[in-house]
Structure 1
Amino acid sequence: MLAEQTRDEVFEAELRAQLELVETALLQSAEAQTPMVTEAAQHIIAAGGKRFRPLLVALSARLVPGASEADVIKAAVVVELTHVASLYHDDVMDEARIRRGSVSANSRWGNTVAILVGDLLFARASDVVSELGTDFVRIQARTFSRLVQGQIAETVGPGAGQDPLDHYLQVVADKTAALIATSAIFGAMIADADPVLLQRMADFGEQLGMVFQLSDDIIDITSDVTGKTPGTDLREGIPTLPILLARRSTDPADARLLQLLDSDLRDDDALAEALDLLRRHPAVDQARAEVERRATIARLLLADLPPGPARRALEELCESVVTRSS
């Protein structure tokens, strides 16, 4: 037991050291020709973040011995730069004022600069991924295509006759799950995993990405205990899993909730009433059940992976994503 704990402690120390190298490489990748552009490009990176995607790269790479640390760092930089670049564009489209506790780039430098900085970071991600080889470039390009198509689908909304919930789940898959799946694939590829393991990690990352976003949907409704401002998506009229499930209700008792969901929720009293009704609505438990269903699939995908600290860490990561919304 003591030897096992020691292996885990060494594993965690090595992982932390590797992620610190990723952090340094991220800032270096965002350096530009002028101080102003460098500051703007490093703005979101310097504000911190979960670094969920780099962590997934690093853990996946440790499932099989022998992964090159230099390549792990490059792959982690690629996925995080891609994620950060998309945030610059998202904030412009959403007219966001705050990002990660700081003034958003579009608020500070304007929309045009924010869009161009996002483009710069996408370009830097493409430059770094080219050092890993054509297979990585191909996957990155296809992932980027999914990100863009997901954003377009979200912007346009469901088509005539399309189920809004099915549409939303596809948006989540493309906008969020795609890059998380790529993070898992990249790590396994660097470790020279066999095709079976590569597919397993692709499927795991896709499910984990869905769990990641759908958990956030629930947190937006139930976030009094998480420290996050509740009802942000609700106030902005963003369709999320609990809201879409509640909208399917035909119960006359839900008439007031449905009326509020169609109203202007910038009013604090109206928002508070809508949140109260939603928190007591079966839709929240239904949303939690969907998150747990997908998390169970993700856990089962890990069951046959090589045993050891990396697999345990992936299992714990999956569990942490689920429990934060419970």
Structure 2
Amino acid sequence: MARVEVALVEHARSRAGFVTEAASHLLSAGGKRFRPLLVLLAAEAGSHPDAPEVITAACVVELTHLASLYHDDVMDEAALRRGADSANARWDNHVAILTGDFLFSKSSELTADLGPEAVRIQAQTFTALVEGQILETVAPGPDEDALAHHLDVVSGKTGALIATSARYGALFGGTTPEVQQALTEYGTIVGSAFQLSDDILDIASESTESGKTPGTDLREGVPTLPVLIARASTDPGDARLLELLDADLTDDRLHAEALALLRAHPAMEQARQYVVGEAARAKALLAVLPPGPVRQALEAFADVVAVRSS
């Protein structure tokens, strides 16, 4: 990871100082580096985990992720990202959008160095990511299952790039095709579980440890797993909660009441159990790997995603 960090700083450089400053803004703000870490872990399952292509692939997925954050913040009109001013707040939307484009182009340059197979994978990943982002802005139709729609959004917007992270690690680390397929599926499931655990944190967290104010998604009317499960309730005792979920929750009093009711609702435990179940499903795919530290690390990775507190 230390090598990846050094490489990321270099790849965010431009011949123009201002571009370098803008492109390094979110990079220097930190982050979990969830995606490059998964590249490195998956590569350990292969015969040459120290191949230079593994480091390059780790940079590709993180730069792609960072680029998407610049665009997300413009769409969400976000003022903060990772505890710092978002690029659009520090500069403006034009700078944020073009900086995201710059980082996407840098990730594309690196992908080209990895060969045509990586280019194809990256193109497919980007398609899924953008489709997921677009679907998030479109409410499900009256005959559509709102929960299924949300899971579809999460699979594209978050799961696709994390799946590619595992796939790149397995591919460039030198694993067999069987392992590559299993780890790609593992990444898809773990990636979606990562976002769904974020859904739970939005309601459950008592502080800003998760990186945002508790109940932010609830206040903004963004669909999340616990809310969607609660909305499906037919219990007459949930009438007040359902009424609040359709109300304007920018009102602090109503928001606090809705948050308290949700925290006490069975939907929270159902959401947690769903994510834990997804982690178990992901771990079952690791049966293709021999017992040992690599498999244990990937199992632990899935568990951390399912029960994380930040």
TM range (shorter): over 0.9
Q: How does 1:172-191 map to 2 (within 5 A)?
A: 172-191=154-173
- Which residue identity lines up with residue 272 of structure 2 in the other structure? R
Out of 283, 288, 302, the position equivalent to 1:299 is: 283
Which of 240, 258, 263 lines up with 2:224 in the alignment?
240
Aligned to 1:48: 30
Distance 1:226 1:88 in 2: 21
1:45-86 CA deviation, whole Å, 9 max, x = no partner? 110100000000001001122234311110000000000000
Deviating runs (4+, > 6 A) in structure 1?
none
Q: Which residue of 1 aligns with 2:205?
A: 223
Q: Structure 2: how far apart are the matches of 1:227 and 1:87? A: 19
Matched, 1:210 2:192: yes
- Which residue does 2:130 correspond to in 1? 148
Distance 1:115 1:226, change over 3 A: closer
- 8 Å contact from structure 2 (residues 88, 96) kept in 1: yes
3-state SS of paired residue (1:156): coil
Alpha-carbon offset, residue 225 of structure 1 = 6.4
Tell me which residue corresponds to 1:168: 150
Q: Is the 8 A contact 1:53 1:76 kept in 2?
A: yes
Select 1:69's aligned residue among 30, 51, 62.
51
- How many equivalent pairs are there? 308
Aligned partner letter, 1:237: G
Structure 2 residue ranges without an equivalent (≥5): none
Deviates more, 1:84-93 or 1:298-307: 298-307
Identity %: 58
The answer for the alignment partner of 2:247 in structure 1 is: 263
CA distance in 2, matches of 1:81, 1:24: 13
| CA distance, structure 2, for counterparts of residue 262 and residue 140 of structure 1 | 39
Q: 1:159 to 1:33 in 2, by over 3 A?
A: farther
Equivalent runs, 1:307-326 vs 2, <5 Å: 307-324=291-308
Structure 2 residue aligned with 1:14 = none
Q: 2:177 pairs with 163, 180, 195, which one?
A: 195
Instruction: Tell me how far 1:303 sits from its aligned partner.
Output: 2.6
Structural mapping, 1:60-139, within 5 Å: 60-139=42-121
Tell me whether 1:23 sits opposite 2:5 in the alignment: yes
Q: Secondary structure at the match of 1:131?
A: helix
The alignment partner of 1:249 has SS state of: coil
**Structure 1 unmatched runs, 5+:** 1-18
1:151-201 per-residue CA deviation (whole Å, 9 max, x = no partner) reads 111112213411111111000000000000000000000122211111100
Q: For the aligned residues, what is the CA RMSD?
A: 1.4
Mapped partners of 2:252, 2:246: distance in 1: 15
Cα distance in 2 for residues equivalent to 1:64 and 1:30: 29
